[in-house]
Amino acid sequence: MDPRTREVLLNEFALQCFRDVADADYIAARMAYRAELLIQAYWSSQQALEKYLKGILLFRRIPMTKRTHSLKKLLRTLEQKFPLGLSKDTRDFIGFIESWDVDRYFIYPFGSEGLELVQLDKAVWDVRRYCTPVDSRVSPKGTPLADLELELIEGAWDDSPQKFRSASPGVLEKVLGDVKNAARQALVWKNLYFGRTERRSIKLKQTWSSSNSPLALYPEIIKEVKDYVFLPNGVDRLTRP
């Protein structure tokens, strides 16, 4: 395979299999948050952020061949070679989702302060800016286009987030541009970061909630459950002293 074709196909894989699927996971997370289905919301949030980070790794040609769902491991591997200008809020939300530990089966207790939807929107906007192919060409003046694009990405916080446009439009741009798209309402509902209007504030009912898993309430049954189903290694920390 010639080098140019290889680069194009690698980018196409990253766009369709990581970035575009992450966009759909993000919309699914927003729908679940709105319906107060927190396990599903956290799962889709984790999946979206994981795929955006894996997409950036591939766009930057940083190998990550070990199987992992850890957002912190992906981010650490990425930032060893390509640091991201992420806000503290974004890093805190990534840490929050990481602490949930990809728990799809209600193994561990979990809680919500009622603001995770807003935190997700900011984190996705923040991370997704970087999830775009790297242009290896140079401008007529000899400046690498990758440097010019990075300036636009890093400077996006200086203006309304809704004004930022990815150099490679994806699912979110398609949904935003089609008023008849079935996913559009789910994407723009109370969204301060993605939308056609420069929304500066939203009203959101904040409801704190928490749920205690059966294994946390009755850790003595962990051994019995393990006789029938697989449980993650971390479940042992639920055992009472």
Q: Identify the burial level of 19 via C-beta atoms within 10 angstroms of its C-beta, where 0-12 means exposed, 13-18 middle and 19 or more buried.
A: buried
Total number of residues shown for the chain = 241
Cα distances (Å, whole numbers) of residue 149 to 6, 137, 167, 239: 22, 11, 8, 51
Q: What is the domain partition of the chain in residue ranges?
A: 3-135+142-238
Which pLDDT belongs to residue 239?
65
pTM: predicted TM-score of the whole model, two decimal places:
0.94
Q: Please work out, in degrees rounded to the nearest 5, the angle formed at the alpha carbon of residue 114 by the alpha carbons of 112 and 115.
A: 110
Q: Is-contact 196 172, C-beta < 8 A? A: no
| pLDDT score for 169 | 92
Handedness of CA 118, 153, 89, 97 (dihedral sign): positive
**What does the pLDDT read at residue 160?**
92
Per-residue confidence (pLDDT) for residue 152, from 0 to 100: 92
Question: Digits of tens for pLDDT over the chain (241 positions)?
Answer: 899 999 999 999 999 999 999 999 999 999 999 999 999 999 999 999 999 999 999 999 999 999 999 999 999 999 999 999 999 999 999 999 999 888 989 999 999 999 999 999 999 999 999 999 999 898 888 888 898 899 999 999 999 999 998 989 999 999 999 999 999 999 999 999 998 788 888 988 888 999 999 999 999 999 999 999 999 888 988 865 4
Q: What is the pLDDT of residue 240?
A: 54
For residue 234, what pLDDT is reported? 84
Q: What is the pLDDT of residue 141?
A: 85
